[in-house]
Structure 1
Amino acid sequence: MPFEIVQIPRDDASIRLYVEQYKAFRLLALKTDPDSFGSTYAREIAFTEDTWYKRLANPQVTTFLAFQEGQVVCTVSIAGPLPCTPEESSPSKDPWTILSGNPEATTQSHWRIIGMFTRPAARGQGIAKAIIAKALQHAMGEAANAGKNFVATIAVEHDNPAAVGLYKKCGFETIIEEPWFLNRPRIALLMKCSTPSGIDKASVEQN
């Protein structure tokens, strides 16, 4: 079944156009698969409308939505550039807290994939891989514009082989493992990617 991927612009009209769909899908993700996120449904259902708006307006975060038959079926955001190297970051820390600091002090352009979720009925169609590729392509273009080497990371629970397998197909490899105690004890993995698979580098250079 065909799908369309939309990068949400940060202008006021675009944010207001997509914010309710983004909010509803994010809350659905937290309810459907609570162990996959570093946040909880109880926490985010209490967010104000202004908080949801500011998430999409944040100049350091770019959000993508995948639509199928007019319905949101997948989302991902990419945050950066970050003020730390992948090896200096933590997979268990709230990703929204790692945006502070000065990214100009780093020699790499480091980006973090966050909020990745695909509706269960839409899995197995290549949508997740395609939306991750879009996010990485965007970040690679930003890195090229800054004249820096690109690198991306993503945090995932170790006991989630489907997600780990997906990220490996996208070019990620595990570099850090550490305890993660949200809701229950578990292990968080930080996966790193410098050369994404399935992305035409020439198209990045043209952007």
Structure 2
Amino acid sequence: MAFEIIQIPHDDESVRAHIEQYKAFRLYSLKTAPNSFGSTYEREIAFTNDVWYNRLANPLATTFIAVQSDRIISTITAMGPLPWAPEEAPPAKDPWTPSMDSALLTYFHFRVNGMFTVPEARGQGVAKALLDRFFKFGKDEAVKAGKEFVSSIVVDADNPPARKLYEKCGYVAVSEEPYGPSRIAVLMKYPSSPGKTIVSA
């Protein structure tokens, strides 16, 4: 299955060229898999065009899309660098915050946010290819800053396929906590650190 991975630049022309397709895909994702996100379709369908524009233009948020036949089939957004380590950023912590001076950061920490692949494209390497592209971006940015690259991601405990994908890509679970009335969120970190891995069902 041939597909292209695109990193959406933050300039005005690029954001405007992708905004409608990105918005439609995000809303489709929230409607299709409502238990896979920290947000809801009802919340985001009410967003103004300015909110959608600012999401893609936000210098703290780098969005990657996988495109097949001019159609988005998968996305991830990398938030960072964040002013805290993965273990200091529980699942409920909002990553959409301003970054601090990168010279003051110990790590270049990026949280993967909003990852989703359309059902018909799963199991074909699309999500892994997106993560690999993100890893290259994150590591390159960390090297430029003379910092160590780390990443975190949050997954529902009852979503074994997603967790298996992240483990295959090198993430390890470091904590679990209730998230909302009936969900358990697993915080995962890349790369692993000795003594931080937990074992759970």
After TM superposition, the score normalised by the length of structure 2 is 0.91
| Runs of 5+ unmatched residues, structure 2 | 193-201
Give the equivalent residue in structure 2 for 1:186.
Answer: 183
What does 1:130-169 correspond to in 2, within 5 Å? 130-169=129-168
What amino acid is the match of 2:184? I
1:159 alignment partner, SS class? coil
After the TM superposition, which segments of 4 or more aligned residues of structure 1 sit over 6 Å from their partners? none
2:81 alignment partner, SS class? coil
Give the equivalent residue in structure 2 for 1:127.
Answer: 126
| Runs of 5+ unmatched residues, structure 1 | 196-207
- TM-superposition CA deviations, 1:46-97 (whole Å, max 9, x none): 0000000000000111001111122110000101010001111111233324
Give the equivalent residue in structure 2 for 1:41.
Answer: 41
What amino acid is the match of 1:159? D
For 2:94 and 2:156, how far apart are their aligned partners in 1? 14
Q: 1:74 to 1:155 in 2, by over 3 A?
A: same
Give the equivalent residue in structure 2 for 1:51.
Answer: 51
- The question of 1:93 aligning with 2:90 is answered no
- The question of 1:28 aligning with 2:28 is answered yes
For 1:129 and 1:96, how far apart are their aligned partners in 2? 24
Deviation at 1:190, TM superposition (A): 0.6
For 1:95 and 1:190, how far apart are their aligned partners in 2? 13
What amino acid is the match of 1:194? P
Indicate if the aligned counterparts of 2:6 and 2:66 stay in contact, CA closer than 8 A. yes
Greater per-residue helix proportion = 1
Identity %: 55
